[in-house]
Chains A and B, each alone.
Chain A
Amino acid sequence: MEVNPNNSMAHGAPADEHAHGHSHDHHDHDHDDNFWSKYIFSTDHKMIAKQYLNVAIFMGFLAMFMSLIFRMQLAWPDAKLPFLSDVIGKWGKDGKLDPGFYLALVTIHGTIMVFFVLTAGLSGTFSNLLIPLQLGARDMASGFLNALSFWFFALSSVIMLSSLVIESGPASCGWTIYPPLSALPQAIPGSGLGMTLWLVSMVFFIASSLLGSINYIATIINLRTKGMAMTRMPLTIWAFFITAILGVLSFPVLLAAALLLVFDRSFGTSFYLSDIFIDGAPLDHAGGSPILFQHLFWFLGHPEVYIVLLPALGLASEVISVNSRKPIFGYKAMIGSMLVIAFLSFVVWGHHMFITGMNPFLGSVFVFTTLLVAIPSAVKVFNYITTLWRGNIQFTPQILFAIGLVSTFITGGLTGIILGDSALDINIHDTYFVVAHFHIVMGSSAIFGMFAGVYHWFPKMYGRMMNKKLGYIHFWLTIIGLYGTFFPMHFLGLAGVPRRYYANTAYAGFENLININHVVSIFAIIGGLAQFIFLFNFYYSIKNGKKSSQNPWKSNTLEWTAPVEHIHGNWPGAIPEVHRWPYDYGKPGAKEDFICQTVPYSETPESNTPHDH
Chain B
Amino acid sequence: MNILLILAVVFGTLVLVRLANVAALASKLSGENEEAEQESANRWNSIGMISFLIIGLIVMIYMMTQYLPLTLPKAASEHGEAIDGLMKINWIVLFVTFFITQILLFTFAFKYRYNKNRRSFYFHDNNKLEAIWTIIPTIILAALITTGMKEWNDITNKSASMKGIVVQIYAKQFDFTVRYAGKDNKLGGSFFRRITDTNPLGVDSSDAATADDMVAKELVLPKGAEVQLMINSRDVIHSVYLPHFRVQMNAVPGMTTRFAFKPTITTAEMQKETGNPKFQYVMLCNKICGVAHYNMQMTVRIVEPAEYEEWLKTQSAVFPVEQAVAPAPADSAATSMAK
Given the known interface contacts A388-B109, A403-B105, A484-B8, the answer about A181 and B288 at a Cβ–Cβ threshold of 8 Å is yes
A411→B100 CA distance, assembly (Å): 12
Stretch in contact with the other chain, from A124-132, A455-463, A467-475, A572-580: A467-475
Stretch in contact with the other chain, from B177-185, B211-219, B277-285: B277-285
Bitwise, A264-279 to B at CB < 8 A (1) or not (0) is 0000000001111110
- Which 5 A-B pairs give the minimum distances between C-beta atoms? A496-B243, A274-B254, A360-B156, A586-B120, A357-B257
B246 at interface, CB cutoff 8 A: yes
Given the known interface contacts A403-B105, A423-B86, the answer about A382 and B156 at a Cβ–Cβ threshold of 8 Å is no
Q: Tally of A-B residue pairs with Cβ under 8 A?
A: 363
B125 at interface, CB cutoff 8 A: yes
Question: Please, could you name 13 A-B residue pairs with CB atoms under 8 Å apart, sorted by A?
Answer: A181-B288, A278-B173, A290-B237, A356-B250, A379-B130, A383-B130, A386-B123, A411-B102, A427-B83, A430-B286, A469-B23, A473-B16, A480-B12
Given the known interface contacts A173-B288, A422-B148, A487-B63, the answer about A357 and B252 at a Cβ–Cβ threshold of 8 Å is yes
Stretch in contact with the other chain, from A155-163, A240-248, A501-509: A501-509
- B98 A472 Cβ-Cβ under 8 A: no
Q: Provide the residues of chain A in CB contact with B292, threshold 8 Å.
A: 99
Q: Provide the residues of chain A in CB contact with B159, threshold 8 Å.
A: 360
Shortest distance between the CB of B277 and any CB in chain A (Å): 12
A371 at interface, CB cutoff 8 A: yes
A421→B91 CA distance, assembly (Å): 12
Q: Provide the residues of chain B in CB contact with A356, threshold 8 Å.
A: 250, 252, 257
- A393 B112 Cβ-Cβ under 8 A: yes
- A491 B192 Cβ-Cβ under 8 A: no
Known contacts A393-B113, A472-B41, A496-B244; 8 additional CB pairs below 8 A are A99-B294, A276-B235, A357-B250, A374-B137, A427-B246, A429-B286, A473-B16, A502-B293
Which of A291, A330, A364 makes the CB contact (< 8 A) with B130?
Answer: A330
A276→B70 CA distance, assembly (Å): 39
- A423 B297 Cβ-Cβ under 8 A: no
- B90 A418 Cβ-Cβ under 8 A: yes
Given the known interface contacts A374-B137, A507-B297, the answer about A290 and B253 at a Cβ–Cβ threshold of 8 Å is yes
A17 at interface, CB cutoff 8 A: no
A500 at interface, CB cutoff 8 A: yes
Q: Provide the residues of chain B in CB contact with A421, threshold 8 Å.
A: 86, 90, 144-145, 148, 152
Stretch in contact with the other chain, from A54-62, A342-350, A515-523: A515-523
- B236 A371 Cβ-Cβ under 8 A: no
- B255 A187 Cβ-Cβ under 8 A: no
- B42 A395 Cβ-Cβ under 8 A: yes
Bitwise, A149-180 to B at CB < 8 A (1) or not (0) is 00000000000000000000000011000101
In the complex, the chain A residue whose C-beta lies closest to that of B108 is A388
Q: Provide the residues of chain A in CB contact with B333, threshold 8 Å.
A: 286
Shortest distance between the CB of A85 and any CB in chain B (Å): 19
- A329 B282 Cβ-Cβ under 8 A: no
| B: number of interface residues (CB 8 Å) | 121
Bitwise, B278-309 to A at CB < 8 A (1) or not (0) is 11101011111111111101000000000000
In the complex, the chain B residue whose C-beta lies closest to that of A288 is B254
Q: Which of A572-613 contact B (CB under 8 A)?
A: 583, 585-588, 593
Shortest distance between the CB of A86 and any CB in chain B (Å): 23
Given the known interface contacts A357-B257, A495-B72, A507-B297, the answer about A390 and B243 at a Cβ–Cβ threshold of 8 Å is no
Shortest distance between the CB of A541 and any CB in chain B (Å): 15
Shortest distance between the CB of A92 and any CB in chain B (Å): 15
A400→B11 CA distance, assembly (Å): 18
- B130 A326 Cβ-Cβ under 8 A: no
Which of B113, B151, B249, B289 makes the CB contact (< 8 A) with A423?
Answer: B151
A363→B26 CA distance, assembly (Å): 57
Q: How large is the interface on A (under 10, 10 to 19, 20 to 34, 35 or more residues)?
A: 35 or more
- B253 A275 Cβ-Cβ under 8 A: yes
- A395 B70 Cβ-Cβ under 8 A: no
Which of A173, A328, A417, A469 makes the CB contact (< 8 A) with B22?
Answer: A469
Which of B41, B102, B247 makes the CB contact (< 8 A) with A410?
Answer: B102
Q: Provide the residues of chain A in CB contact with B290, threshold 8 Å.
A: 181, 187-188
A356→B19 CA distance, assembly (Å): 50
A309 at interface, CB cutoff 8 A: no
Which of A184, A488, A587 makes the CB contact (< 8 A) with B63?
Answer: A488
In the complex, the chain A residue whose C-beta lies closest to that of B132 is A382
A133→B119 CA distance, assembly (Å): 28
In the complex, the chain B residue whose C-beta lies closest to that of A502 is B294
Which of B49, B120, B250 makes the CB contact (< 8 A) with A326?
Answer: B120
A368 at interface, CB cutoff 8 A: yes
Q: Provide the residues of chain A in CB contact with B252, threshold 8 Å.
A: 290-291, 356-357
Shortest distance between the CB of A279 and any CB in chain B (Å): 9
Q: Which of A422-471 contact B (CB under 8 A)?
A: 422-424, 426-427, 429-431, 468-469
A371→B147 CA distance, assembly (Å): 12
A367 at interface, CB cutoff 8 A: yes
Shortest distance between the CB of A567 and any CB in chain B (Å): 28
Q: Provide the residues of chain A in CB contact with B71, threshold 8 Å.
A: 491, 494-496
Given the known interface contacts A368-B145, A418-B90, A509-B279, the answer about A390 and B156 at a Cβ–Cβ threshold of 8 Å is no
A424→B67 CA distance, assembly (Å): 20
A214→B130 CA distance, assembly (Å): 33
A531 at interface, CB cutoff 8 A: no
Q: Provide the residues of chain B in CB contact with A422, threshold 8 Å.
A: 148-149, 152
Given the known interface contacts A357-B257, A503-B294, A507-B297, the answer about A180 and B112 at a Cβ–Cβ threshold of 8 Å is no
Q: Which of B253-276 contact A (CB under 8 A)?
A: 253-255, 257
Bitwise, A512-547 to B at CB < 8 A (1) or not (0) is 110110110011001000000000000000000000
Bitwise, A328-344 to B at CB < 8 A (1) or not (0) is 11111100000000000
- B123 A326 Cβ-Cβ under 8 A: yes
B56 at interface, CB cutoff 8 A: yes
Q: Provide the residues of chain B in CB contact with A364, threshold 8 Å.
A: 149, 152-153
A6→B246 CA distance, assembly (Å): 60
A181→B285 CA distance, assembly (Å): 14
Q: Which of B51-98 contact A (CB under 8 A)?
A: 52, 56, 60, 63, 67-68, 70-72, 80, 82-83, 86-87, 90, 94, 97-98
